[in-house]
Amino acid sequence: MKRPGRIAAVFSGLAAGVAAILVAVPGWFGAANAHEPELSRYGYWRDIRPLLEQHCASCHSGTGPAPVNLMRYLDALPWANSIARQVLQRQMPPWLPDDGTGDFAHARTLDDRETDMLVDWAIGLAPEGPAPAEEPEIPGAEADLPPSRLTLAEPVVIGEMESVAAACQPLVRGEGVGAAAAGFSLIPGEAVSILRRAVLYAGDDCASGAPLFTWVVGQGPRMRPEGVFDRLPEDTGLFLHLSYRKGFDTEGLEFEDAPQVVVFPPLPDRTRAVEMLAVEPGTTAVGPATLLSVLPPEGLDPGPDGFAVEAVGTDGAVTPLLRIRRFDADWAEKFAFREPVRLAAGAAIRVSHPGAIVDLVRAPPTGPDEDP
């Protein structure tokens, strides 16, 4: 009879040791089970999918730019822990402004209750819960859009070997596009799965033109506040800058793209024109005026202190308006304030980096508390 080999002897010794531990520590298994995660009270279909639909479907629907589909349970399940980690780290949904600075319209953020629900579901074994009789449809962007459009003079071609591409294309004014606009929207073309950002410029080209409108993935129409309009002089060129980036599921494919810009015509009551002002680092007097939005500089490097915009009152009081510490060019947009910021005569804007654009109207504010 052969003696057991050295490896077999080692495993035999380990087995005997484990058996001795189990005998010496009765109830050991029960103690371990007591620390196993409890099943979350939230179910995917009833509780989690509505959150994902509201905040994530524009990218994570199977047709958007993100390869991960979160609109079906079995597709979302392997990503449950990643979802929890990214919402806790404020990496998803993508939103550049720091918490606590500025109150912005269209903010892509989760409140504390929504974050708690997603994390609880993920660490609680991500249960499916009762499934609906019929799987809900993946939401689409439905909007009542006017027929007035700006179209590309020629389509953009993104070649098979191009992983990242950018183009500045002249636009053709369609019927109904006049010399003013109350707002804009973008209708993506065939390359919707790789289009990351678009900027509408008025001027001679994209490099020197004034940025009228920015679009990022999942964005709907952007309207100016009541009574306000953007100028579209008929003798001024209009250009659309488009940024593309392929994912692993679209590498090696060729795309021909022709997105359209929708122009919302203004009503006669819109009498105040928007002024786009490039502000340099330091303090720039702008009051009396009403501040509508801020566009961070292109290619921003926020540095350790971040990119900051502040309002400085005539008494020296400082009001933080925007701070960005983590910058991603794909998500740089015109950050519009939920309520326009009124600046008294003599009030100023202070910015930390060159190249920022502020949108304002030069209408004197009224009221005793107009100073920031």
**Are 156 and 255 in the same domain?**
yes
CA separation for the pair 300, 326 (Å, rounded):
10
pLDDT-based confidence at residue 140 (cuts at 50, 70, 90): low
CATH number of the domain where residue 344 is located: 2.60.120
Residue 343 inside a domain? The answer is yes
Residue 168 inside a domain? The answer is yes
CA separation for the pair 171, 181 (Å, rounded):
15
Residue 318 inside a domain? The answer is yes
**Are 83 and 158 in the same domain?**
no
CATH number of the domain where residue 190 is located: 2.60.120.310
**Are 169 and 212 in the same domain?**
yes
Top pLDDT among 53 and 31 is at: 53
Top pLDDT among 367 and 128 is at: 128
pLDDT in tens, 44-67: 999 999 999 989 988 888 777 888
What domain range includes position 279?
Answer: 275-361
231 φ/ψ angles, rounded to the nearest 5 degrees: -80, 140
Q: Structurally, how many domains does the chain consist of?
A: 3
Kindly report which listed range (48-62, 205-219, 256-270) carries the lowest average pLDDT score.
48-62
**Are 57 and 109 in the same domain?**
yes
CA separation for the pair 227, 340 (Å, rounded):
12
Cis preceding linkage at 368, omega within 30: no
Residue 137 inside a domain? The answer is no
**Are 260 and 157 in the same domain?**
yes
Residue 294 inside a domain? The answer is yes
Report the 10 Å Cβ neighbour count for 273: 15
CA separation for the pair 200, 69 (Å, rounded):
30
**Are 246 and 284 in the same domain?**
no
Average pLDDT, the chain: 87
At residue 182, does pLDDT exceed 90?
yes
Greatest Cα pair distance, the chain, in angstroms, is 103
At residue 10, does pLDDT exceed 70?
no
pLDDT-based confidence at residue 33 (cuts at 50, 70, 90): low
Which residue, 107, 123, 139, sits at the end of a domain? 123
pTM equals 0.84
CA separation for the pair 14, 8 (Å, rounded):
10
- Retrieve residue 30's tokens: 């029960």
The pLDDT value recorded for residue 333 is 98
Residue 15 inside a domain? The answer is no
- Retrieve residue 318's tokens: 């400082």
pLDDT in tens, 72-100: 999 999 999 999 999 999 889 999 999 88
CA separation for the pair 113, 132 (Å, rounded):
24
CA separation for the pair 321, 335 (Å, rounded):
10
- Retrieve residue 342's tokens: 């009124």
Which residue, 123, 157, 179, sits at the end of a domain? 123
Q: Per 3-state DSSP, what percentage of the chain is helix, strand, and coil (rounded to 5)?
A: 20, 30, 50
257 φ/ψ angles, rounded to the nearest 5 degrees: -120, 140
